[in-house]
Amino acid sequence: MAPGLVWLMAVTCGLVVANIYYNQPLLAEIGRTFGLSESRASLVATVTQVGYTLGLLLVVPLGDKRERKSLTLGLLLCSAACLGGAALAPSFGMLAAASLLIGLFSAVPQLLIPMAASLAGDEERGQVVGKVMSGLLIGVLLSRTISGYVGSQFGWRTMFWVGAGVMVVLTAVLARMLPRNQPQYAGSYGSLLRSLGTLVRELPVLRRSALVGACMFGGFSAFWTTLVFFLESPAYRYGAEVAGLFGLIGATGAFAASFAGKSADRKGADYALNLGILLFLGAYVLLGFGGTYLLGLIAGVVVLDVGQQMTHISNQTRIFSLRPEARSRLNTVYMTACFIGASAGSFLGGLAWDHFQWTGVCAVGLGLVALAYLANRFYGRQRDNTIIGE
């Protein structure tokens, strides 16, 4: 692949995925606007992730059937409209509905990542996926920094207007620069969705990767959903702007993407995956015992994001090697599981914060990473050599 195309995809992934995470540093402000408790306000993050999960399940499979460039442009314009709707929302119910649709139409990165994997050679696939994913992770983390600053200075509604404008500009850029990419699947939309079940049944490696990814994303989301509440608590007494700056700190973990991809290419995906799980576990131990100290919290954020990135890249490299003709659908199964886990993690994190504060959040994270380890160690270890035809 041409390096320019790889970086264009990486930037696109980062800008689009940011739509899902703008609301997290703004939850306390949103709660004050509508007179809501912290746990109720956190439902905005949960609903957005539910919408993204629906997009993964219902939209991303079309990447194996529809021309990817036109599909991508259409989704970007829909995202812009929904972000504008969130900015204008007169009630919490309307904001939640707009957030659901923002998540649904922000599935673009999960169309571009399989596209990048299909364009890359076998010997460089992990590295290319890692570079594109580095853009996505930087978007996830820097979105919180930007959102925290804009929200504290201009109000949370302004951030959604900015996001809408970015989507319009990005649509114009991609219309000019993104190549057309026509997949080969010729069946109906119904048969396309039914084939997801076939892939799940016949690929134990896919099932294991999806389960591990769900647990890891759950632990990741539990932390980031509740961080703003922790920083506003008596332990720190910081606002949304500082919460957003932690996204900038966590963005250092994005540099692990290329390393993870290279490790998966050279030493196998399992090596990088096990290392990522170990780092994630260490991060939550550090956050649990040292999170009330600023340096401990900063170190925990960096290690957590590095561990998450390594496990995610390793999982995707592993599943993309299974069925070249079905990479969008493989990514659908994997990422749907991940964001079901993320939605559950946001919910459990908010619940744990309400009842047990920071100790409860760390316990949720440790429990989920323990489940990820057990799933990777014991579930479906038999080797998969089957090939599913179209």
Regarding whether 197 and 329 lie in a shared domain, the answer is: yes
29 CB-near residues (< 8 Å, 6+ apart): 151, 152, 155, 156, 240
**Residue with the two structure tokens 């340096």:** 295
- pLDDT band of 116, cuts 50, 70, 90: confident
Question: Which range in 131-145, 244-258, 279-293 is most confidently predicted, on average pLDDT?
Answer: 279-293
pLDDT at 380 over 80: no
**Which pLDDT score, from 0 to 100, does residue 389 have?**
37
Among 152, 170, 186, identify where a domain stops.
186
Q: Where residue 129 sits, what CATH number does that domain have?
A: 1.20.1250.20
**Which pLDDT score, from 0 to 100, does residue 220 have?**
92
pLDDT (tens digit per residue) in 132-174: 877 887 787 778 778 888 888 888 899 999 999 999 999 999 9
Among 186, 201, 227, identify where a domain stops.
186
pLDDT at 390 over 50: no
pLDDT at 386 over 50: no
Regarding whether 213 and 180 lie in a shared domain, the answer is: no
- pLDDT band of 130, cuts 50, 70, 90: confident
**Which pLDDT score, from 0 to 100, does residue 306 have?**
85
Q: Are 344 and 367 in contact (CB under 8 A)?
A: no
Q: Are 211 and 226 in contact (CB under 8 A)?
A: no
Regarding whether 241 and 175 lie in a shared domain, the answer is: no
159 CB-near residues (< 8 Å, 6+ apart): 22, 26, 146, 147, 150, 151
112 CB-near residues (< 8 Å, 6+ apart): 9, 12, 13, 68, 72, 132
309 CB-near residues (< 8 Å, 6+ apart): 133, 134, 137, 253, 254, 256, 257, 260, 276
Q: Is the pTM of this model over 0.85?
A: no
CB atoms within 10 A of CB 248: 17
**Residue with the two structure tokens 């990522």:** 276
Residue 350 tokens, joined:
């908010």
Question: Which range in 100-114, 225-239, 249-263, 311-325 is most confidently predicted, on average pLDDT?
Answer: 100-114
Regarding whether 377 and 249 lie in a shared domain, the answer is: yes
Regarding whether 158 and 210 lie in a shared domain, the answer is: no
340: containing domain: 188-389
Among 166, 186, 206, identify where a domain stops.
186
CA distance 220 to 342: 7
pLDDT at 382 over 70: no
Regarding whether 284 and 154 lie in a shared domain, the answer is: no
Regarding whether 150 and 299 lie in a shared domain, the answer is: no
Residue 346 tokens, joined:
């946001």
Buried b (16+ CB within 10 A) or exposed e, 298-325: bbbbbbbbbbbbbbbbbbbbbbbbbbeb
Regarding whether 122 and 223 lie in a shared domain, the answer is: no
- pLDDT band of 385, cuts 50, 70, 90: very low
104 CB-near residues (< 8 Å, 6+ apart): 51, 52, 54, 55, 58, 59
Please, what is the end-to-end C-alpha distance for the chain in angstroms? 26
| E-state strands within the chain | none
**Which pLDDT score, from 0 to 100, does residue 244 have?**
66
Rounded to the nearest integer, the mean pLDDT of the chain is 84
- Helix 156-177 to helix 68-88 angle (10° resolution) is 160
**Which pLDDT score, from 0 to 100, does residue 387 have?**
39
**Which pLDDT score, from 0 to 100, does residue 68 have?**
82
Regarding whether 318 and 239 lie in a shared domain, the answer is: yes
> Cβ-count burial of 281 within 10 angstroms (0-12 exposed, 13-18 middle, 19+ buried)?
buried
Handedness of CA 233, 237, 239, 241 (dihedral sign): negative
**Residue with the two structure tokens 């990165």:** 109
**Which pLDDT score, from 0 to 100, does residue 384 have?**
44
Count of structural domains within the chain: 2
For residue 13, give Cα distances in angstroms to 16, 47, 228, 332: 5, 21, 24, 16
CB atoms within 10 A of CB 350: 26
